[in-house]
């Protein structure tokens, strides 16, 4: 494991994020999650005002310019109260745009993302291409100094209300697997772009999920991010960072659920004594706390590697999200169980935490896909080690 110690500034950020989440986000989350309405834009403005938006965006564009570990620490605290609010401070737009975008694109979009004015959506998933991103069929055809895009994207978070779409589209029909894919920046009012079905989901209604349709959507070449055919490579720049942060967000939800359940167990009495006095429940809580810490430390470790752009960063990030999302599912389920019948009611947030966790094992890389990536890395390491041993014999 990478050795690290939180700096005084990181501890300050963690404390400030916890205070903000508990005092200002919690009342809003309680109201919004009951009504099922989308997260209000005013919340993003509030988060920006308090210094919790554009965490990874450079200071010259109005962001905070924080390292990956600091971003993870902050969003862990935010998500301990409201996972949906943790979607916005770090997005999949920033990394690729800084890496491959033009100065004009960066100047146009990054300041508005940093101040909460611009909501973005990442349009990758299709009917036949979810975890298998290389199989996308949405196609962008070159027409002079424009591109004409046709295709459909499904299950796109905030797709129905995003101001800017980061679109994955194929630009070469006969390119090898993983090649011939490009990134486009599509503004909401672009002719030929429309929102299709809005999906009803068991959770995350604050960030509604929608189908996006591109019907002869014509955009200028200035909407292309980077070089044609290099989109798959560009997006890998951001995955190690965002998956490490996602793991920390899962740890935050798990910690929030366990903390609430433990507080409840202090005051809920059965058989003349509080639930917290029963050894079996205390032991179970201790086990869950240890599991949360394991997921947290894996995520912090992955965040450090992602910041340093080490070769092991993608695998570490996959491990972090895989473990932390599984732990979160276990913890939130047990939190409901700790509350008994009360845990099934909307009077307590643990039922929301429990419903939300299913996304964590599917979105931003399903648990199955992450296991595949990790196992592939292990196999490569094993083969390399065997080759080295054979060469030395």
Here the CATH number for the domain that contains residue 100 is 1.10.540.10
Identify the domain containing residue 52 by its residue range: 8-114
pLDDT at site 271: 78
pLDDT at site 384: 74
- Could you tell me the two tokens for 263? 């507080």
Q: Which of 114, 148, 167 is the last residue of a domain?
A: 114
Pair 118, 163: CB distance under 8 Å? yes
Shared domain for 259 and 318, answered yes or no, is yes
pLDDT at site 267: 83
CATH number of the structural domain spanning residue 341: 1.20.140.10
The residue among 116, 122, 80 whose CA lies nearest residue 238 is: 122
Query: Which spans in the chain are helix H?
Result: 8-20, 26-35, 41-49, 68-79, 94-100, 103-114, 231-267, 279-308, 313-339, 350-360, 367-392
pLDDT at site 387: 64
Shared domain for 61 and 82, answered yes or no, is yes
Any domain includes 393: no
pLDDT at site 3: 58
Shared domain for 110 and 128, answered yes or no, is no
Shared domain for 366 and 268, answered yes or no, is yes
What does the radius of gyration of the chain's CA atoms come to, in whole angstroms?
22
The residue among 326, 328, 352 whose CA lies nearest residue 339 is: 352
Shared domain for 245 and 327, answered yes or no, is yes
How close are the terminal C-alpha atoms of the chain, in Å?
30
Any domain includes 364: yes
pLDDT at site 340: 94
pLDDT at site 275: 76
Any domain includes 3: no
Q: Which of 227, 246, 280 is the last residue of a domain?
A: 227
Which residues, other chains included, contact 149 with Cβ-Cβ below 8 Å and sequence gap of 6+?
138, 139, 140, 141, 167, 169, 184, 186, 192, 214, 216, 217, 218, 219
Shared domain for 77 and 180, answered yes or no, is no
Mean pLDDT, the chain, as a whole number? 93
pLDDT at site 233: 86
Residues of the chain scoring pLDDT < 50: none
Any domain includes 304: yes
Looking at the 3D structure of the chain, how many domains does it have? 3
Shared domain for 140 and 105, answered yes or no, is no
CA 225 to chain centre: 21
Torsion over CA of 354, 326, 204 and 198, rounded to 10 degrees? Answer: -120
Any domain includes 392: no
Q: Which of 114, 149, 183 is the last residue of a domain?
A: 114
What does the pLDDT look like over 122-163, one tens digit per residue?
999 999 877 777 789 999 999 999 999 999 999 999 999 999
> Can you give the pTM of this predicted structure?
0.92
């Amino acid at each position: 494991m990478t050795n690290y110690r939180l700096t005084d500034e990181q501890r300050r950020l963690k404390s400030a994020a916890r205070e903000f989440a508990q005092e200002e986000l919690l009342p809003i989350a309680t109201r919004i999650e009951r009504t099922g309405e989308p997260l209000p834009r005013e919340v993003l403005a509030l988060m920006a005002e308090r210094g919790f938006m554009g965490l990874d965006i450079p200071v010259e564009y109005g962001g905070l310019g924080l390292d990956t570990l600091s971003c993870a620490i902050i969003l862990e605290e935010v998500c301990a109260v409201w996972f949906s609010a943790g979607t916005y401070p770090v997005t999949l737009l920033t990394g690729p745009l800084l890496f491959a975008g033009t100065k004009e694109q960066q100047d146009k979009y990054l300041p508005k993302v940093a101040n909460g004015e611009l909501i973005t959506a990442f349009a990758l998933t299709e009917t036949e291409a979810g975890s298998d991103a290389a199989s996308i069929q949405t196609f962008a055809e070159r027409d002079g100094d424009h591109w004409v895009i046709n295709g459909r994207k499904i299950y796109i978070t905030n797709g129905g209300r995003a101001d800017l779409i980061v679109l994955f589209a194929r630009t070469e029909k006969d390119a090898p697997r993983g090649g011939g894919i490009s990134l486009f920046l599509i503004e909401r009012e672009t002719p030929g772009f429309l929102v299709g079905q809005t999906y009803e989901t068991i959770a995350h209604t604050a960030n509604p999920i929608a189908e996006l349709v591109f019907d002869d959507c014509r955009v200028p070449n200035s909407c292309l991010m980077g070089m044609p055919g290099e989109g798959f490579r560009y997006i890998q720049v951001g995955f190690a960072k965002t998956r490490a942060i996602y793991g920390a967000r899962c740890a935050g939800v798990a910690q929030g659920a366990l903390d609430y359940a433990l507080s409840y167990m202090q005051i809920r009495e059965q058989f003349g004594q509080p639930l917290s006095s029963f050894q079996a429940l205390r032991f179970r809580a201790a086990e869950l706390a240890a599991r949360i810490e394991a997921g947290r430390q894996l995520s912090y470790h992955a965040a450090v590697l992602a910041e340093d752009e080490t070769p092991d960063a993608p695998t570490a990030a996959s491990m972090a999200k895989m473990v932390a999302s599984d732990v979160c599912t276990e913890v939130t389920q047990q939190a409901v169980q700790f509350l008994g019948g009360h845990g099934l009611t909307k009077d307590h947030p643990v039922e929301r935490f429990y419903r939300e966790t299913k996304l964590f094992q599917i979105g931003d890389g399903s648990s199955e896909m992450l296991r595949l990536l990790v196992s592939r890395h292990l196999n490569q390491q094993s083969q390399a080690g065997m080759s080295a041993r054979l060469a030395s014999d």
